[in-house]
Amino acid sequence: MDQKNFSASIALRNVQVTDTFWKKELELVRKEVIPYQWDALNDRIEGAEKSYCMRNFKLAGEVNRKRRALGTSYQEVTYPTNQWVTFPDPEKELEERFYGWYFQDSDFAKWIEAVAYSLTQYPDKALEELADSAIDQVVEAQLENGYLNTHYGINDPKNAFTNLRDAHELYCFGHLVEGALAYYEATGKTKLLNAVERYADYIGTVFGLEEDKKKGYPGHEIVEMALCKLYEVTKKQQYLDLATFFVEERGKRPYYFDLEHPEEKPAKEGELKFFYNQAHAPVREQKDATGHAVRAVYLYSGMADLARLTQDESLFAACETLWNDITQKKMYLTGGIGSTHLGEAFTFPFDLPNDTAYAETCASIGLVFFARRMLEMNPDSKYADVMELALYNGILSGMAQDGKSFFYVNPLEVDVEACKKDERKHHVKHQRQKWFGCACCPPNIARMISSVAAYAFTENATTLWFHLYMGANLTKVVKTQDKTTSLHIQVESQFPWSGEVLIKVRPEEPVEATMAFRIPAWCKHFPIPEELKAIATIQKGYLYLTKVWEKEEEIKLDFPMETQYLRAHTGVKEDLGRLAIKRGPVVYCAEEIDNSTDLKAYFINPKKEIIRKTVNLQGEELVMLEVACKKMKADEQQEALYQEVTGTSFDELMEEATLKLVPYYFWGNRGEGNMTVWLGMR
Amino acid sequence: MDQKNFSASIALRNVQVTDTFWKKELELVRKEVIPYQWDALNDRIEGAEKSYCMRNFKLAGEVNRKRRALGTSYQEVTYPTNQWVTFPDPEKELEERFYGWYFQDSDFAKWIEAVAYSLTQYPDKALEELADSAIDQVVEAQLENGYLNTHYGINDPKNAFTNLRDAHELYCFGHLVEGALAYYEATGKTKLLNAVERYADYIGTVFGLEEDKKKGYPGHEIVEMALCKLYEVTKKQQYLDLATFFVEERGKRPYYFDLEHPEEKPAKEGELKFFYNQAHAPVREQKDATGHAVRAVYLYSGMADLARLTQDESLFAACETLWNDITQKKMYLTGGIGSTHLGEAFTFPFDLPNDTAYAETCASIGLVFFARRMLEMNPDSKYADVMELALYNGILSGMAQDGKSFFYVNPLEVDVEACKKDERKHHVKHQRQKWFGCACCPPNIARMISSVAAYAFTENATTLWFHLYMGANLTKVVKTQDKTTSLHIQVESQFPWSGEVLIKVRPEEPVEATMAFRIPAWCKHFPIPEELKAIATIQKGYLYLTKVWEKEEEIKLDFPMETQYLRAHTGVKEDLGRLAIKRGPVVYCAEEIDNSTDLKAYFINPKKEIIRKTVNLQGEELVMLEVACKKMKADEQQEALYQEVTGTSFDELMEEATLKLVPYYFWGNRGEGNMTVWLGMR
């Protein structure tokens, strides 16, 4: 670890994204997703399972007021609270109780976070007012002691923090912290931030190393990275200490989750349990990414934050081990992670089935969290390569082109008939869905996309790193020993369709500073521009330019974006003898609508040239690919189930064909149909 | 339907199997399986879940005696009987109640059937005495009214036949009929036959078209074919009528299973239910093989029996439709059926996943039942081809070479690691198992193998059909208009390793008769021997020789047994671009022990010649195959998960290799390891 190279995301208020590709996504989030999401939080989406999120906050506020009037025990333990989901009796009126999933509060938290990021790019008075009034409602739900969670808060505050394994209180808290910080950073308003600080302080009285405090940690992680961020903004040591506590307690024996659930069988001597929650062992002893994939990468992100903030080498090493395990053995070509729907979890090395994949959108988002945090400690392009891969593929695939429907699961192969008829594939949807009752992915996509610039650029006092390329206007505040000044930077890029990037730099006054440009791994031959050779160095996949920036100037970079045939490691049995096609950061797939229903009948040859065509599909300009290939002739329905193939007949099985490919993220936007990323190889 | 061509299995007492291949299997059944099975029925197998089968019969006999002494209500309804499985409290002594699965009585029935067949080939006084005493015990369990089922009989006779859908009473009855008939035919002893006739007569008072009788039919079929056989042996019309009743009632609306289970939601108007039990529609309206695969083919077998016995053209047509659906769209290359473990069931056309296959041994056995019954009506070699395929592959694979462990599930591809770690494949075992508590397959294999000659040869008055080739001495009783005499026939064959067959015929006196020899579908060029051309005709895949047999003579047939590359119908997505290798009736597979762990890395080319090697493996002489092939070079563990493949690097991915193959039925006999039938194609 080299502290000199530590960095942090550029503040979103210092970036304006102007990029063609990302601006479209940002506007979709602003115009479609955020309003839709607000309707969802308020149960106004027809046909969708109700969220009850804002209704719960309002009710919790009312109950709070009644408590103050009628006594603290008002409404307590009237209803059982220890259940994952509670829906009202359709025959009855709503009762004074929590409805929805355990973790429903987090829907608001993710929404306010997306709103905050969006406001940095598109100031919007009406939206800000709406957000302020929503915050008012939420803060009303806070108890006297600082506790702020409607699930227990409405009916059963005495049982707060008694089921850390399942009840998602620290998860909701973590999201609320992230939302509050984003809103504070976007607007300077402190109301929600003050509320979460009060809540955090209360949590600090419940959990800790002192004898009278609980030694628990959350069943679903996020609080670790949220507390680190809270510390970074507030500089209050107690938040860093609390984050440290939650990370270090995890996996200690006897298991806290066993102590918390005496009604269940505890772990036997030597038995490892709670893999699902990454709580089977202390974090430094965890060598394999395991369990629920979203939870896993959220934990690892928190570990990375903590490693950087405390300069903990052994924690960094643990993160690196887990990073390598994921990216070398457990990641789909699209940046998807989590090979099985059973527990939405990691499985074993090289187990990457395409048609039964889980590859949850949220898990890829979590992987990007993890990647940026690793970059913040260690600017190695390997992290940014994965970040770029997940963003352009396994994350964007999660949202329809119109921003109105979403994939939770992102398979690399879909056979519509099998998804409908094979129970083993029922989790794989062949069309994006409206908002779910359990709505993790859509608001997570919204907050990821609307803060994408924070992943593109990180900085420290004198260096600006370009991890992703996107059109943007940035202000880089440079702090040297003798002055603080700014560089105004304009980035022009046609990513992901072209690798040319133009960077215009205008210093307010001459100042020495460094710009670091990632050289993408997909770019095999990057020519360092002649005029930069004198000042350029390359370290860990970044081109560093250090100099005194004196006057306005332009840097032209060109990352040749070639179409590539890719194969998987031979350990990945599902992909043996198969090829995929990728161009720059974009993974391609074949869809039924452009080809035919039997996509497994196509065989491609890596000696064939792939042709590029810029097309406009559903209002989006994108690059389609075409390649000449072989296709097995389809048998008639009634032909024999098994037939002899002789040397002579072999060649006759195949016919010449052309395969057309679209970006993976785009799939499933043109009606129902089969899809595959991996293709047979000839 | 042409009644002239109707036939029936040759009586086992008229055949002595002398075949090298099958005799080994028969002896295994006699020496290993039957004694092991008897121990299992008596709960003497260490480490296996107890059967309680003979214990239940003994207890039922005691309870019967007590009832006679103490009154008919003795012991009634003391214990709940409506549950799938009941095991004793390990802390307590056994109580006076039924233990085990609903259908545990059938274990005895299958055992006695296997014993009976074995006695026809190997007279064995001690075994016959043991069987007689077992029969004594079983018959003691019969109630006054003829009812004979220990599950309800011990505790709850009043509730007999109140849960046809689940409780397997008619299933156990059907097996008991088949066992009784086999024992009668082998020994001439009638005790068990009389008991099942009494039971059948009682069932005739419970079920029928009369208003006061139940209109039910079994949830698990077999009674249909059992009653047909009982009719054929006893010639009592009421048994044929009862079989007809059970077949014709099936699937009528409202569903009997709904009426029987008022506690559950009945089918809505227009809703189809009970696919699992093939009870969703009347049998003639069933066009797709559906539901639990064993139940399905047992039903279809009964339908075929009934079609033949009643010369019902529409029922034959229904059977033919279902036969075609299975063999053209839903059958594995090995003769396995049932693509999913969920319901152990058929799925949709061309859905034949190799690694998650169910392909239960019992289902393939049921398919052979069905095939022979179709042959008995319609001597078309297509049925016998499937019979041969299932016998040499998907059925024999069910039993270890030592007869001591068994596969229930017969996948075409096994990855040991995935079977252990992937919950979706937990039903796929990579090593054969000891007897299960729910022990359908092992005793079913035993009765199939020990009666294999009954599938090889069927006959009518003047014609003998050779459906399978195996060394045997047969007596063909020929009944012409003017005389009854015999042909003594000796068959010599080295099937499945060589296609040469020598048939020696010695007539007791000159008589006109027909011999019909199946020309296997795998034999593309069968040369009709010159000397036979004058009298030979070929119909539906059989070579018919009709003549007056005057003196001892020899017929030499040669079915050239070439090694073949096979591909699946292009509708089978799992097998697209893959090849399998078959020689004669034997499907081959590659095992890790002969090759390497990464079997999916091998790519074979149908232009390459396959080399044959006769080897001795674990005491068995068999033909192994070897073929030169390409193999993808295995990456090191830490190599990149995804790599570019260029036209140049492409050729370097592959290395020359040799692939060794063993017969599929032999797999898994040499320790734990991966296996695959389908291989990549180059």
* Torsion of the alpha carbons at A379, A380, A382 and A384, rounded to the nearest 10: 20
**Interchain pair A417, B348: CB under 8 A:** yes
Does residue A496 surpass a pLDDT of 80?
Answer: yes
Domain boundary among B176, B195, B219: B219
Question: Phi-psi bin for B317: left (phi > 0), alpha (psi -120 to 50), beta?
Answer: alpha
Residues A428 and A480 in one domain: no
For residue A394, give the amino acid letter: G
Residues from chain B contacting residue A340 (CB–CB below 8 Å): 422-424
Tell me, what's the pLDDT at A682? 82
Total domains, chain B? 4
- State yes or no: cis peptide before B282, omega within 30 of 0: no
**Interchain pair A422, B579: CB under 8 A:** no
Per-residue pLDDT reduced to its tens digit, B266-313: 999 889 999 999 999 999 999 999 999 999 999 999 999 999 999 999
Tell me, what's the pLDDT at B47? 81
**Interchain pair B577, A680: CB under 8 A:** yes
**What is the pTM for the complete model shown?**
0.91
β-pair partners for A557: A501
Tell me, what's the pLDDT at B637? 85
Residues A509 and A576 in one domain: no
Average confidence (pLDDT) over B171-198: 98
* Chain B CB within 8 Å of residue A548 CB: no
Q: How far is CA B257 from the centre of its chain?
A: 27
Whether B635 is in a domain gets the answer yes
Whether B106 is in a domain gets the answer yes
Q: In which residue are the tokens 């050239």 written?
A: B560
Tell me, what's the pLDDT at A190? 98
Q: Tell me if B581 sits within 8 A of B627, measured CB to CB.
A: yes
Residues from chain B contacting residue A327 (CB–CB below 8 Å): 641
Does residue B350 surpass a pLDDT of 80?
Answer: yes
Residues A360 and A425 in one domain: yes
Q: How many angstroms away from the CA of B192 is the closest CA of chain A?
A: 44
Tell me, what's the pLDDT at A304? 98
**Interchain pair B637, A680: CB under 8 A:** no
The per-residue pLDDT of chain B, averaged, comes to 94
3-class SS of residue A476: strand
Residues from chain B contacting residue A331 (CB–CB below 8 Å): 641
Domain boundary among A436, A451, A466: A451
Per-residue pLDDT reduced to its tens digit, B361-397: 999 999 999 999 999 999 999 999 999 999 999 999 9
Does residue A199 surpass a pLDDT of 70?
Answer: yes
Q: How far apart are CA B375 and CA B372, in angstroms?
A: 5
Percent of chain A with pLDDT over 90: 85
Domain that includes residue A553, residue range? 455-558
Whether A583 is in a domain gets the answer yes
3-class SS of residue B517: strand
Does residue B445 surpass a pLDDT of 70?
Answer: yes
Residues A101 and A67 in one domain: yes
> Residues B483-498, buried b or exposed e (16+ Cβ, 10 A)?
eebbbebbbbbbbbbb
Q: Which two tokens stand for residue A623?
A: 């690059």
Q: How far apart are CA A177 and CA A187, in angstroms?
A: 15
Task: Using alpha carbons, list the distances in angstroms from residue A73 to A59, A64, A150, A153, A306.
Answer: 16, 10, 16, 11, 39
Percent of chain B with pLDDT over 90: 85
pLDDT higher at A587 or A618: A587
Whether B13 is in a domain gets the answer no
**Which residue from A minimizes the CA distance to B581?**
A644
Whether A302 is in a domain gets the answer no
Q: Tell me if A128 sits within 8 A of A194, measured CB to CB.
A: no
**Interchain pair A576, B601: CB under 8 A:** yes
The per-residue pLDDT of chain A, averaged, comes to 94
**Interchain pair A600, B576: CB under 8 A:** yes
- State yes or no: cis peptide before A663, omega within 30 of 0: no
Tell which B residues from 77 to 106 touch A, by Cβ distance under 8 Å: none
Per-residue pLDDT reduced to its tens digit, A292-301: 999 999 999 9
Task: Using alpha carbons, list the distances in angstroms from residue B30 to A213, A225, B10, B186, B233.
Answer: 70, 68, 21, 15, 26
Q: Tell me if A121 sits within 8 A of A12, measured CB to CB.
A: yes
Q: Range with the lowest mean pLDDT among A554-568, B45-59, B214-228, B421-435?
A: B421-435
Q: How confident is the model at residue B651 (pLDDT cuts 50, 70, 90)?
A: confident
Burial class of residue B437 in the structure, from the number of CB atoms within 10 Å of its CB (0-12 exposed, 13-18 middle, 19+ buried): middle
Residues B670 and B540 in one domain: no
Does residue B599 surpass a pLDDT of 70?
Answer: yes
CA-based nearest residue to A594, from A517, A673, A520, A500:
A673
**Residue B563 burial (CB count, 10 A):** 18
Does residue A347 surpass a pLDDT of 90?
Answer: yes
Residues B585 and B646 in one domain: yes
Does residue B436 surpass a pLDDT of 80?
Answer: no
For residue A112, give the amino acid letter: I
Average confidence (pLDDT) over B98-109: 94
Tell me, what's the pLDDT at A84? 85
Active site residues of B: 344, 440
Does residue A281 surpass a pLDDT of 70?
Answer: yes
Question: Phi-psi bin for B37: left (phi > 0), alpha (psi -120 to 50), beta?
Answer: alpha
Q: How many angstroms away from the CA of A361 is the closest CA of chain B?
A: 20
Whether A240 is in a domain gets the answer no
What's B85's DSSP letter? E
Is the torsion defined by CA of A593, A596, A599, A602 positive or negative? negative
Q: How confident is the model at residue B438 (pLDDT cuts 50, 70, 90)?
A: low
Q: How confident is the model at residue A142 (pLDDT cuts 50, 70, 90)?
A: very high
Q: In which residue are the tokens 């396995």 written?
A: B336
Domain boundary among A422, A451, A480: A451
Nearest CB partner across the interface for A348, out of B421, B566, B632? B421
Percent of chain A with pLDDT over 70: 99
Average confidence (pLDDT) over A128-138: 98
Q: How far apart are CA A318 and CA A374, in angstroms?
A: 11
Q: Which two tokens stand for residue A90?
A: 């359709």
For residue A161, give the amino acid letter: F
Average confidence (pLDDT) over B537-550: 97
* Number of alpha carbons in the 13 Å side-chain half-sphere of residue B390: 31
Q: How many angstroms away from the CA of A387 is the closest CA of chain B?
A: 15
Does residue A80 surpass a pLDDT of 80?
Answer: no
Does residue A478 surpass a pLDDT of 70?
Answer: yes
Q: How confident is the model at residue B437 (pLDDT cuts 50, 70, 90)?
A: low
Residues A515 and A649 in one domain: no
Tell me, what's the pLDDT at B270? 87
Q: Is position A440 annotated as part of the catalytic site?
A: yes
* Chain B CB within 8 Å of residue A646 CB: yes
Residues B648 and B526 in one domain: no
Instruction: Specify the pairing of strand B679-681 against strand B602-604.
Output: parallel
Q: How confident is the model at residue A437 (pLDDT cuts 50, 70, 90)?
A: low
**Residue B144 burial (CB count, 10 A):** 11
Backbone torsions φ then ψ of A67, nearest 5 degrees? -60, -45
Q: How many angstroms away from the CA of B451 is the closest CA of chain A?
A: 28
E strand spans, A170-210? none
Whether B3 is in a domain gets the answer no
Per-residue pLDDT reduced to its tens digit, B143-158: 999 999 999 999 889 9
* Chain A CB within 8 Å of residue B287 CB: no
Distant-in-sequence, close-in-space partners of A119: CB < 8 Å, separation ≥ 6: A127, A128, A131, A186, A187
Question: Phi-psi bin for A187: left (phi > 0), alpha (psi -120 to 50), beta?
Answer: alpha
Q: How confident is the model at residue B645 (pLDDT cuts 50, 70, 90)?
A: very high
* Chain B CB within 8 Å of residue A564 CB: yes
**Which residue from A minimizes the CA distance to B630?**
A577
Largest Cα–Cα separation, chain A: 90
Average confidence (pLDDT) over B195-219: 97
Q: Range with the lowest mean pLDDT among A110-119, A154-163, A454-463, B621-630?
A: A154-163
Tell me, what's the pLDDT at A270? 87
CA-based nearest residue to B651, from B586, B579, B595, B603:
B603
**Residue A483 burial (CB count, 10 A):** 10
Residues from chain B contacting residue A565 (CB–CB below 8 Å): 644-646
Residues A179 and A80 in one domain: yes
Residues A337 and A423 in one domain: yes
* Chain B CB within 8 Å of residue A638 CB: yes
Does residue B210 surpass a pLDDT of 80?
Answer: yes
Helix B237-249 and helix B293-310: axis angle, to 10°? 130
**Interchain pair B601, A643: CB under 8 A:** no
Our CA angle for A300, A302, A305, nearest 5°, is 110
Residues B66 and B180 in one domain: yes
Our CA angle for A386, A412, B676, nearest 5°, is 115
**Interchain pair B569, A423: CB under 8 A:** no
Q: How many angstroms away from the CA of A45 is the closest CA of chain B?
A: 30
Does residue A393 surpass a pLDDT of 90?
Answer: yes
Whether B359 is in a domain gets the answer yes
Residues B427 and B497 in one domain: no
